[in-house]
Structure formats: C-alpha cells, structure tokens
C-alpha cells in the first residue's frame, strides 16, 4: 500500500487520498470517488459566484476539506449512527464528505445563508445523495424547533465558533446518549477550559479529545467528542446572536 509522503505545503492527490482512507479502513468505490470529483468541480465552479472557500487547488481541497472532514470518522463510529446534523456547514463540511463515505446516514444541514443552502441543494442532486435535508435557519432558532430538538444521533460543527458558543448551538439538537463532535484546528486546550461550564450546563460531558496532524501538510487538528448525558434546559439556545455576544463561560 503506498505510504503518504510528508511534504509540507503539499496537498493530497486522489491516489494518496484513497490510500490514506484505506489505511483507516474506509474503502471507496468508483462511484464514491466519482462523487468526490464532482464535489470538487462544483465547489470550484460555484466559488466563482459566491464565497464558499479560499481553498480551490485540487490537491488542497482533497486534503484540507475532504480528508479533514472524514477524519472525524477515524474517532467516531458513524456506522452505528443513523442521523447527523451539521451546524453552519458552509460548503458542506464535514457532513457531506462523511455522507459520501457512509451513505446510510440521514444528513441534515442548517446554515444561516440562503445562497449556501441553494448551493448544497443543487450539489446534493449532482452527487445523487439520498436522505439529505437542508435548512436555511439560525442554529438558535433551529435548536428550539420540536421537529429537530434532541433528535440527532450526532451533531457536527467544523470551526464555526468557540466551543462555549458552539455547545449552545449544537447540544440542544443532540439526543440523549448521542454525540456532539467539534472539529477544530490548532490547540483546543483553552477553548475546552472556557467551554466546560457551557457543556455541563447544556447536558454534555467531554468524552475524548483526539489530537492529530493532517498527513503531508502536518497542520494540527483536534476532534472534541462530547456525550449528551441529560436533556438541555428549555431556555437554551438563547435568542439568535446572544450565544456569540455573551457566551456561557466559567
């Protein structure tokens, strides 16, 4: 099996991407590889019309968006999950690369920008994805909806906000015994420390923190896994904008 070479500043070609996932026990079919290619083409094409990502070079997209998103599955067993909600997914990260790898998942994305939701709807059709739903809404409002509150096995968020803020946006959506998985870049120690009060207040408990480096480029990544132990008090999430303006921090 080809090894991933460590060359800083490099990206990941399709062979390296496939081999890297294979090493982690994820074997992609030709259809799944085709889906990633289509995803890349759509991302670049739509990025000319609206700001989706600053990363457009193919090898970099495969490493910093696709592989980086799927890395959550190295630590969380998505095969055992049925429903996933992605808060503030932007161009579909991390949920859509995870969905391509684990097609059984029912994926819901909530994002506050309607243009992005329009893109994701079109992209989902182009990728022939089933059981995907896209909502144009603020996470604070969405988390109070009876149809969605405490109804997901796993809720993900990738670099959307500080952990104390994210917890208020995400934990209300997680069902009891489900998981909130936060994907973070550099050192998350400080965020974890300041976020502990919010996590506890919202019914969660940090289960594990996985730190690793992206292959080839070697930048730091952290995946914080929080288990939902008890129901979130009814008063959370607070009004749109409030979690950001006055986060629950101890």
pLDDT at 186: 75
Q: What is residue 185's predicted lDDT score, i.e. its pLDDT?
A: 87
> pLDDT tens digit string along 77-127?
999 999 999 999 899 999 999 999 999 999 999 999 999 999 999 999 999
Q: What is the mean pLDDT of the chain?
A: 94
Structural contact between residues 53 and 134, judged by C-beta atoms closer than 8 angstroms: no
Predicted pLDDT of residue 66: 98
- CA distances from residue 85 to 105, 109, 110, 237 in whole angstroms, order as listed: 10, 6, 8, 16
Q: Check residue 160 and give its pLDDT.
A: 74
pTM score, two decimals?
A: 0.94
Q: pLDDT under 70 in the chain at which residues?
A: 1-9, 187
| Angle at the Cα of 154 from the Cα atoms of 100 and 72, rounded to 5 degrees | 55
| Residue 1: predicted pLDDT | 40
Cα-Cα-Cα-Cα dihedral sign, residues 17, 21, 27, 32: negative
Please state, in angstroms and rounded to a whole number, the distance separating the CA atoms of residues 69 and 19.
Answer: 16
Q: Give me the numbers of helices (H) and strands (E) for the chain, helices first please.
A: 10, 7
User: 230-247 pLDDT, tens per residue?
Assistant: 999 999 999 999 999 999
pLDDT value at residue 244: 95
According to the model, what pLDDT value does residue 4 have?
A: 43
């Amino acid at each position: 099996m080809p090894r991933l070479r460590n060359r800083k500043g490099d990206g990941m070609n399709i062979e390296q991407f496939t081999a890297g996932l294979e090493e982690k026990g994820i074997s992609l079919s030709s259809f799944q590889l085709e889906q990633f290619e289509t995803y890349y083409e759509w991302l670049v094409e739509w990025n000319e019309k609206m700001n989706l990502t600053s990363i457009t070079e193919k090898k970099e997209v495969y490493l910093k968006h696709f592989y980086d998103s799927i890395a959550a599955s190295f630590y969380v067993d998505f095969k055992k999950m049925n429903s996933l909600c992605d808060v503030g997914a932007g161009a579909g990260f991390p949920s859509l690369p995870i969905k391509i790898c684990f097609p059984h998942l029912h994926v819901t994305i909530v994002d506050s920008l309607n243009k992005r939701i329009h893109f994701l709807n079109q992209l989902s059709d182009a990728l022939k994805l089933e059981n995907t739903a896209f909502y144009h809404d603020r996470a604070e409002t969405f988390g109070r909806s009876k149809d969605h509150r405490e109804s997901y096995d796993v809720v993900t968020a990738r670099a959307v906000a500080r952990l104390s803020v994210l917890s208020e946006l995400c934990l209300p959506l997680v069902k009891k015994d489900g998981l909130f998985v936060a994907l973070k870049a550099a050192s998350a120690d400080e965020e974890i420390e300041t976020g502990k009060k919010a996590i506890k207040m919202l019914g969660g408990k940090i289960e594990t923190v996985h730190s690793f480096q992206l292959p080839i480029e070697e930048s730091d990544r952290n995946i914080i896994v929080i288990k939902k132990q008890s129901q979130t008090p009814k008063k959370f999430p607070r009004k749109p904008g409030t979690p950001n303006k006055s986060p629950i921090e101890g």
